[in-house]
Structure 1
Amino acid sequence: MLANSIVLIHGRAGTGKSCIAGSLAQIIHKKQHPVLTEIELAMSFHCIRDSRDKDVSVLVPTLVYQLALEFPEFGEKLASNSHLDTSGDLSTQFDDLLFDPLMELKKEGKTKISKKIAIIVDGLDEWGQEDDRISFLTKLQTLCEMHNWMRFVITSRPNPEIGHAFLPDHSGLFKRIDLSEDERTMDDIAVYIKSYRFNHPKLKNTVSELEMLSLLPYINSLFILADVVCKFIAQSPCNNFKILANAETGYKSGRNSYDVLYSLYETVLTESLVDPINQVSIYMDVIGTLCVSQQPLTIQGLTKLTNNDARDIVESLSAVFYTDSESKIHYHLSFQEFILDNGMSNRRLGTSLYQFYLNVTKQHEHVALVCLKIMIQQLKFNICHLESSYLANEAVINPDMDQQVQRWISEELRYSCESWVYHMCETDEQSESWQNISCFMESKSIIYWMECLSCLNKTSHIKSSVGNTWPLVVRLLRTSHIPPIPSVYNTRSYTQSINLASLSPH
């Protein structure tokens, strides 16, 4: 598989691209395949939509750092450059951080390494803008042509700009793997269903293997469909299998596999409600907050942001939600797309009494106002109880700054400080909520907000807000007929005049 310098694994959402990327990373790292034992894994980078990790300035420096760990001579060459700058645009980053130092090493005869170094980039279609992806792939091809010891595995949806960026297949530089056309996919899904049933005694004792496999024709090569089907049936094996097996209540209708997937999501949501008329608005607030949030939330954080008992709701939707080792809630991208689909208002459920519909703009506004409320309630002077402003954050010990943050800054406050500007700028320009922004920006809380982000080592949020988002905030305040606010301009001047990154101002 890794005989080529670049391997592109592409397929529709839900075909198992991320699963393959994760499994391949583990196999290479643990030397679990004889053909791959001479390959070292330098990095596995997962691109996430609406996450700050997708920032185009992050991927190349991360790649360079991990490459330096596996290739010591490269690391030494970088360290010897006292003028090294990682803040340039994508093209400059490639030139300064990769092409130039590697070329110098090549001239010195220090790039003839015996091992291959693998780098996995999962979900490239979720990273940056179209022009960024084209530029990245173009530079990547040039890099691999110059240094044949590099191996890149890229997973992506079949975006045109990604497919067109590669050279013709006959060049030998790269290989395409289309999961949507691989006949072995259904065999893998069948193995997954059998394994899932075998490892869940309640399901194993209620639904036969033959019955589970009878649903295969409707899964249509989508791993995410198989996963949701298995988890949904496992919640209540006898009842939920009958629901899916029934052409009237199940998920079989649809012109394509995504209609089937959306129909399945609708079924899962419908069956999770005990009292639909009274529960649907609460459910959609919790689900909507998860789907518009910038980063994964824990049950506790979600409960604080929604003022609802999120645990019962998340557990009732275990077919689509799952938690990681840090108790943060995750879901497949296709579920977010289903919830945020503009056509949802026209989707009717099994009864005409209710429907799942999320007004995305209103949801952002609601979350933004909750963030403001949390900040007003919890932000305060010297929030981490530091002894002195003269001491740099990294010099704080016994306890250190991370321990202070865990003790004094709640999860909901952390999220609010990092994300309120983002949510507010996604709201309607005519919203009356801009008056709340005006009040917040004129209060002492705006200074406490900056202090809190400094404690969190997130001062980049301050400068990006002030430098890029703040002008938008000011313009929207004006269009809402709210007078200019002197404190906004004072905030801009303040962030430009103090080193917020090194010490918390209080």
Structure 2
Amino acid sequence: MDRLKYSPEAFYDTDNGVEFARKECTAGTRKQILDDIEAWVEDSTASLGYWICGMAGTGKSTIAKSVCIRLKKKEHLAASFFCFCQIPECKDYHRIIPTIAYQIARYSHTFAQELQKVLEKDRDIGTKSPGDQLKMLIVGPWAATTRTDEFGNITPVTVVDTLDECEHVSLVLKELIPAIQNQKIPRLRFFFTSLPEKNIYDHLTNVINPLPPKSQAQEFELHNVEEAVVREDIIMYIKEELSTLRLDIETHQVESIANKAGKLFIYAATVIRYITGVKGLGKTRLSDIMSKGHIPRDKKETESLDNLYSDILANVLSPLTLEESELTVKILYTSLFVGMRVSRSMLSELLEIDLKFVESTISSLQSVLYVDKRDQAIYTFHASFLDYIFSKMRAQSFHCDITKHHTYVTRVVLDRQLKFNICDFPSSFLADRDVPNIDQTIEEKINEGLWYSCNFWAFHLTNANLHEGEVIETFEKFMDEKILFWIEAMNLLGRLPWIEVMNLIFWQIQNFQYLGTQISQLKTVMNAFSLSEVKEMTPHFYLSIIPWWPVEISVVKNLKNVLKVIKKTGHGTIGTQINIFQEHEDKVNSVVFFAGGDKIVSGSDDNTISIWDPKTGAAIGNPLCGHKNSVLSVAISPDEYWVASGSKDYTIRIWDVNTGVTIGDPLNGHSDHVRSVAFSPDGQQVVSGSSDETIRVWNAKTG
């Protein structure tokens, strides 16, 4: 048997010293969980496997040891292997199968005899692959036990704890799990515990090829146990651990510690170690915890918790390339320090990182993060992880400098693509709510990343390092080029007036006099718009608010250079004129912006169509001539190569934007004025409406 290279350090009851001692559950705690596991063992119709998964620190290993003790008393325990990353022999995947085989041989006389025969034939079996080890050391010898009645009504169980702490454990699971599921080891049941890591999850749940219920591992998520149940167990645990001390600890103090622990036994254990760590300081340290409201942040006092979190992060990052590691850290930090809980898709769009990579990253961090099934948002399992990662002394290389990260996110959110008329409204005459498919359009044009940026750029800006030149430069550029487009987007989202947030920004940047003045003036603009009658018609922010605004905000001045607006009353023009386009010789009936905002097309009673530069007001090329009467309507194809026009001459014409030449012959068929034209979304068809009370659809290329 010695040739098996088994690991006695991995037995559940091995004394590995005070530092690595394995503890069982405090008497009276975890009762329901342990009873349910025992019931699973006793039920002959139950599944062959049972898997407890849970976030770090929820007490999986103490449950596993208690399970072993209970099973041992009732002669159910065939073998155990407690993986542990700090003991070399307990994290070596080569040792799992031999160690289980060795213990089953001590449990079953028949199995021992068959195993001895195998070892006599192959002395080096301990060095073989997990697949060969499983076949020769367990499957083969176990077959002999099925031909006897050695176990009677007893159900043998093997316990394997903390799979995630064994290096390359997938190499074992990919052989062991199919053998269990295909009943190559009939009657031998397996009890597993681990973090909810994806590679383990995929093996134990067999998500690709689901099997019948009996062949599946029964899954129990420890971190989903109701907090009230866990809280009672933690209270019982705290009282038991402190019972030998003369601290006169009060009920409300015990409850306070339990409340802070949430579902984390390791948090409570860390507090207990702190209180009892130095003789004579128990009362002082208890008082310290009660007054500060959190676990001490001294590295020595939180060492076990810190090591746990550091190991988790190291295991996630170590297999990655440098570039992948940097992206993973950005995803982790941003998911922790955002203005609201975000989903994986929002995080992907915000950081402009591939969604599959984001999903894979969050999945790899399932020991400290989880995705809520109700809102799909990312949450931390416990506040202690934030305490850890905030502290440079505790987290060391994994420490997140929150100011530095807010500075990074500020640059990201202020650099988002905002633009004039972001939803491409075709007209300013409709209220926003009356625009067809408005909700769907807003959702498409203002995606999750842009939505977050619009709503939370101020949160990140006010927490960033404003003395970093690049941040102020980015903010100045945002104010000069995008701030009015941001107001447009926020109005569409129903998020104005936002005045309180602007006040906060003002106080943060008042030392930057130029920006402070800009913010102060902008607040007035936003307030005026949010209280105006045209608030429900977003395009009128540009048409009815901005052109008449007297203050000199740089972006207002820049925008005025591209607006054509004339102030009028019933008695004629009384205001200033901005960029009047003056090439037409008669009334202008129709104007349309190109989607990119770089051109405008117009149709007039002078029988022509003109194309304009909106920045300069100058005509681009010569007027498009051909109609024999007034041009009543113009439209632009989705690819912006063609212009369609409808006229009082009863025809529709299609023009090449670049050459000004008509495409084919006029489209004839209407018997009265053509008052409206439009392109189909694919640009292949033109639809027209006429005073002859008909609507016609035309092939744009052939007529």
TM-score under structure 2 length normalisation: 0.35
Bigger helix fraction: 1
Higher RCO structure (Cα 8 Å, ≥6 apart): 1
TM-score under structure 1 length normalisation: 0.48
Greater Rg over alpha carbons, structure: 2
